A = this chain, B = another copy of it.
Amino acid sequence: MALRPDWKVTTHRVIFGHDTRAGQLFDIALIVAIVLSVLAVMLESVQSIRLQYGPLLVAVEWLLTGLFTVEYVLRLACVPKPWKYATSFFGFIDLASVLPTYVSLIFPSTHYLLVIRILRVLRVFRILKLAEYVSEADVIMAALQESRRKLAIFVVSVLLSTVIFGSVMYIIETGTPGFSSIPRSIYWTIVTITTVGYGDISPQTPIGQTVASVIMLLGYAIVAVPTGIVTAELTGARVRASLMRCEGCGLADHAADARFCKGCGRAMVR
């Protein structure tokens, strides 16, 4: 097996590692650079600031994009399996964090898509070695994973309802400016059923207001369903964990995914 050149190993340790002094400095510098560059993009979109500091902000953007590009190439170069990194979640984010600047030479407005690099901040969880946060996130993801079918059924039902309610409101509110087409009425139904309620479109006829009231009360009732689904999963895991008792030593209140008793090491009957 051919050994990797020394510079690759060193670069890898600095860029990907969090143990050496150099690696930690790199991590901190990276987070600062990411936040700075996102702030630059956001401020550049404010007209009054752009008129005054525009050239400075553009310079910052190009400078940081240059550095991030070098970093991306280095990551690709020093990693043992470049393709695996390039197709991973962070590999994709890293690429998407530099591309918009170059594409903006052709399509100017795309450079605002740079804010996607804010997702690189998620690395901070890895950097701080917040293993506990990761395991907590896993619990949430597992609950969402477990209930994905229930949530899918729910979302499909809500979407079908909005199509039908939207059409009914379109027929009832003919002539009201906001309800000028079925797609707009469906938009209004979504705004209403999610209880957002902008008020840019609102029913004017007594019948329309009556049907709207029914939709609202319905939305009020069905908001309970996804909450119930997710909560049931989270609670199920939590309750089982706190009730499981080791058959050896009688100790209870184990972790949700414990396979062995935390007190005596005996395998748990699940």
Measured CB to CB, the residues of A under 8 A from B are 38, 41-42, 45-47, 109-110, 112-113, 115-116, 118-119, 121-122, 132-133, 136-137, 139-140, 143-144, 149-155, 158, 160, 163-164, 166-168, 170-171, 174, 180-184, 186-187, 190-192, 194-200, 202, 206, 209-210, 212-213, 216-217, 219-221, 223-243, 245, 250-253, 269-270
Contact = CB atoms under 8 A, between A and B. Distances in A.
Best-surrounded residue of A38, A115, A202, A234 (most CB of chain B within 10 A): A234
A56 to B, nearest CB: 17
B119 A133 contact: no
A190 to B, nearest CB: 5
Contacts of A122: 160
A75 to B, nearest CB: 21
A121 B270 contact: no
Contacts of A227: 223-224, 227-228, 230-231
A149 to B, nearest CB: 5
Contacts of A225: 140, 144, 230
Nearest to A198: B199
A17 B217 CA distance: 35
Given A121-B160, A239-B240, 13 more contacts: A45-B183, A112-B167, A113-B167, A113-B171, A118-B163, A139-B150, A158-B220, A194-B220, A197-B197, A223-B223, A223-B227, A224-B227, A228-B234
A186 B214 CA distance: 12
A47 B189 CA distance: 20
Contacts of A144: 225
Nearest to A165: B115
Contact of A187 (B195, B213, B253): B213
A171 B100 CA distance: 13
Contacts of A118: 160, 163-164
A258 to B, nearest CB: 13
A195 B194 CA distance: 7
28 contacts: A46-B180, A46-B181, A110-B171, A115-B163, A115-B182, A118-B163, A118-B164, A137-B153, A139-B150, A143-B228, A155-B221, A158-B220, A191-B197, A191-B213, A195-B196, A196-B196, A196-B197, A196-B216, A199-B199, A200-B202, A224-B229, A224-B230, A227-B228, A227-B230, A228-B230, A232-B234, A235-B238, A252-B269
